Amino acid sequence: MTRRLDILARAAQFQAVFLEQGATVVEADVLQSADTLLDLYGEDIRARAYVTSDPLRGEQMLRPDFTVPVVQMHMDHGAEPARYTYNGVVFRRQEDDPSRANEYIQVGYEVFDRSNPAQTDAEVFALIHRALGDAPVRAATGDIGILTAAVMGLKTTDRRKRALMRHIWRPRRFRALMNRFSGRAGDVDSRIALLAKSDPMAGAGPLLGLRSRAEIIERIDALHQDAAADPISAQEVELIDAILRVSETCPYAIQQLRDIAVDLPAISVAIDRLSARTDALSVQGIDVDTLMFEASYGRTSMEYYDGFVFGFHAADRADLSPIATGGRYDALTRRLGHGQEIPAVGGVIRPDLVLEITSDKTGGAQ
Amino acid sequence: MTIKLGVPSKGRLMEKTFDWFAARGISLSRSGSDREYAGRVDGIDGVELVLLSAGEIPRELAAGRIHLGVTGTDLIREKLSQWDQRVQMLVELGFGHADLIIAVPNCWVDVDTLDDLDAAAAAFRAHHGFRMRIATKYHRLVREHLKTVGVADYQIVDSQGATEGTVKNETAEAIADITSSGETLRANHLKILSDGLILKSQASLFRSRYGELDAYDQAVMQKLMQLLGL
């Protein structure tokens, strides 16, 4: 019980820092519409969130985070620009690791502001950095926007770009698609046979289910068009790989990316944004010369974060989840906004983990 | 105390299990009437037969309420997370073979691999406004597998029986189910994806990693393992 009170006290301290910055306190329902979350994250969310139901409202989920309800609230009736803070319990289903908490407090800070993305990115990072004080953490940053700009800049068909964009956050499928589109991996026999047939529907048997004959023919046509398209060049594949390998302190990372941009100019604008953000971080007092930048950071765990991403990890406790995480999620506001879009960036701190890694965790015990 | 051995309470799985133990000098049988789920064990003292539904055996093993149990690897892996830390697989029994697979309609001539399924799912969602439905009772195994290989834009719909019929009834577009010969799939105009095998399963004997044994039970367990050649 004492420990829980300690966590609540620590959470209140963090929120005080966010309030000082001018944030408004917001609340969110514990029970969230399962439809919305399933729509966003697909079936995978069931492995991470608790699902419950009643005959009236159907499936509901215990909130796995605050981001979605805060975005919905802001888009329904928020004034701009806005800064919000929240402090409450989130619930995470655990299937594999009994040491991970399934219920813990998150204290968050979210900014909806169209004016200057580099500055708001830096504001959120610097604020969380400051709030964590001398807790033994190391920070890592990334920017999904570099990879998406690279994909959009490939000299290939729009359909291939869309397919790659759809799997930006699933590295294994992304890699498989790159291998296929570049000809590194040959087509499987079944596809070669299918494309060789003059009447592919011959001998297909009865039509069954909702997927219509027209949909099947449409996909076969798409496969024909794709087979006729030039492969993505080995040089472009190597450039994407080179981007994903970038893992350096910010100044060196920018330099490496500039070198890559000589052959892939489509990423130049994204690098300019990274560069402007790095300058803004420096103005906020962050030592960017030692701050790490990893181009693939957050790619597996932060779906819909499509620009700046960051995490603070326990310096010598690799077993712990990140102490604080955050980033820019314009893509999420686009998905939830039905056509509207609001540039948004935010971050959360886990006070329970901060207590675990700071020496004052026993303070107040007994 | 006794060593509790959980065995499926009906059908071929029960009979084959009885045969397997009989071949090793242990006679298992149902006592009383055919409808009563009570059992007896001959050939060794201190072992109690518990007849259960095969689907409940994983849970009972994990809770330590039975010490040994016979069930399919598919059920153990679906129902127990970190299964290998909760039960120990002692031996595969050589029957009850079943593969958990993903199948789609024969008429989907453009879909042969999971890569195809993923692309078809994206197009299906764009056309129909909802995610492609996969009917199964193996929610966790299917979800974990599709996450690992990176298939998106699908949803799992629960189907506890007659899963092969869901596509014809238009309550699902594809299925994930266990199959032994594939005959039911063929009869329902479905085909297995060439890389659609999720898990190969067969009836196996498991030992719970929970549940304390006293000295007498330990001796019984040792003797039982000797008889079973384990």
Instruction: Tell me if chain A has a CB within 8 Å of the CB of B170.
Output: yes
**How buried is residue B131: exposed, middle or buried, by Cβ count under 10 Å (0-12/13-18/19+)?**
buried
Chain A residues touching residue B125 (CB < 8 angstroms)? none
Question: Can you say how many angstroms the Cα of residue B92 is from the centroid of all Cα atoms in its chain?
Answer: 13
- Tally of residues, chain B: 230
**How buried is residue A335: exposed, middle or buried, by Cβ count under 10 Å (0-12/13-18/19+)?**
middle
**How buried is residue B195: exposed, middle or buried, by Cβ count under 10 Å (0-12/13-18/19+)?**
middle
Q: Which residue is associated with the tokens 């000299």?
A: A155
Q: Check B128 against A205: CB less than 8 A apart.
A: no
Question: Can you say how many angstroms the Cα of residue A206 is from the centroid of all Cα atoms in its chain?
Answer: 43
Torsion of CA B72, B77, B78, B82, to 10 degrees: 150
The vertex-A281 CA angle with A280 and A283, nearest 5°, equals 65
Query: Looking at domain B3-97+202-227, which of 1.20.930.40, 2.60.40.1080, 3.40.190.10, 3.30.530.20 is its CATH number?
Result: 3.40.190.10
Q: Which residue is associated with the tokens 């820019």?
A: A328
CA distance A10 to chain B (A): 33
Instruction: ipTM value, please give it.
Output: 0.87
**Nearest to residue B174, comparing CAs of B147, B154, B194, B149?**
B154
How many CB atoms neighbour CB B63 within 10 A? 12
Q: Which residue is associated with the tokens 């490496």?
A: A256
Chain A residues touching residue B120 (CB < 8 angstroms)? 211, 219
Q: Which residue is associated with the tokens 């966790």?
A: B140
Q: Is 60 exceeded by the pLDDT of residue B50?
A: yes
Which pLDDT score, from 0 to 100, does residue A363 have? 43
Task: For residues B160-164, give the mean pLDDT.
Answer: 92
Q: What is the token pair recorded at A104?
A: 């813990």
Which pLDDT score, from 0 to 100, does residue A157 have? 97
Instruction: Tell me if chain A has a CB within 8 Å of the CB of B154.
Output: yes
Picking from A95, A172, A180, the nearest residue to B149 by CB comes out as A172
Q: Which residue is associated with the tokens 């690098």?
A: A271
Residue B218 phi/psi, 5-degree rounding, is -60, -40
Q: Checking DSSP bridges between strand A137-143 and strand A308-314, what pairing results, if any?
A: antiparallel
Residue ranges in chain A assigned as alpha helix (H): 2-20, 34-41, 45-48, 67-77, 117-132, 144-152, 158-166, 171-181, 189-196, 213-228, 234-245, 250-263, 268-283, 330-336, 351-357
pLDDT along chain A (366 residues), means of 10: 86 97 96 92 92 92 95 88 96 88 96 95 97 95 96 96 94 93 88 91 90 96 95 96 97 97 96 98 97 93 90 92 95 85 95 86 40
> What is the distance between the terminal CA atoms of chain B, rounded to a whole angstrom?
22
- What are the Cα distances from residue B61, in Å, to B23, B65, B223? 24, 6, 20
pLDDT tens for each residue of A161-220: 999 999 998 999 999 999 999 998 888 888 999 999 989 998 888 999 999 999 999 999
Domains and CATH numbers, chain A: 2-19+64-149+239-362 (3.30.930.10), 157-234 (no CATH)
Q: Is 90 exceeded by the pLDDT of residue B37?
A: no
Supply the DSSP symbol for A197: -
Decide if B3-97+202-227 and B98-200 have a common fold: yes
**pTM recorded for the entire structure:** 0.87
Beta bridge partners of A107: A87, A349
Q: Check A204 against B106: CB less than 8 A apart.
A: yes
**How buried is residue B152: exposed, middle or buried, by Cβ count under 10 Å (0-12/13-18/19+)?**
buried
Q: What is the token pair recorded at A107?
A: 């204290």
> What is the distance between the terminal CA atoms of chain A, rounded to a whole angstrom?
10
SS3 A84: strand
pLDDT tens for each residue of A101-124: 999 999 999 999 999 999 999 999
SS3 B22: helix
Which pLDDT score, from 0 to 100, does residue A365 have? 37
pLDDT tens for each residue of B171-211: 999 999 998 778 899 999 999 999 999 999 999 999 999 87
- What are the Cα distances from residue A286, in Å, to A250, A264, A280? 11, 30, 9
Residues B155/B132, Cβ–Cβ less than 8 Å:
yes
Which pLDDT score, from 0 to 100, does residue A2 have? 61
Size of interface A-B (CB pairs under 8 A): 110
Picking from B81, B122, B148, the nearest residue to A166 by CB comes out as B122
SS3 A18: helix
Chain A residues touching residue B149 (CB < 8 angstroms)? 172-173
Question: Can you say how many angstroms the Cα of residue B45 is from the centroid of all Cα atoms in its chain?
Answer: 30
CA distance B64 to chain A (A): 18
In whole angstroms, what is the distance from residue B166 CA to residue B155 CA? 14
How many CB atoms neighbour CB A204 within 10 A? 18
**Nearest to residue A25, comparing CAs of A108, A120, A100?**
A108
Q: Check B194 against A208: CB less than 8 A apart.
A: no
**Residues of A at the B interface, defined by Cβ within 8 angstroms:** 38, 42-44, 46-47, 95-96, 98, 163, 166-167, 170, 172-174, 176, 180, 188, 190-191, 194, 200-201, 204-211, 213, 215-216, 218-220, 223
Picking from A46, A201, A204, the nearest residue to B143 by CB comes out as A46
Half-sphere exposure of A233 (CA within 13 A, CB side): 8
In whole angstroms, what is the distance from residue B58 CA to residue B208 CA? 9
The domain ranges of chain B are 3-97+202-227, 98-200
Residue type, B64: G
Which pLDDT score, from 0 to 100, does residue B52 have? 92
Query: Looking at domain B98-200, which of 1.10.520.10, 3.40.50.2000, 3.40.190.10, 3.30.565.10 is its CATH number?
Result: 3.40.190.10
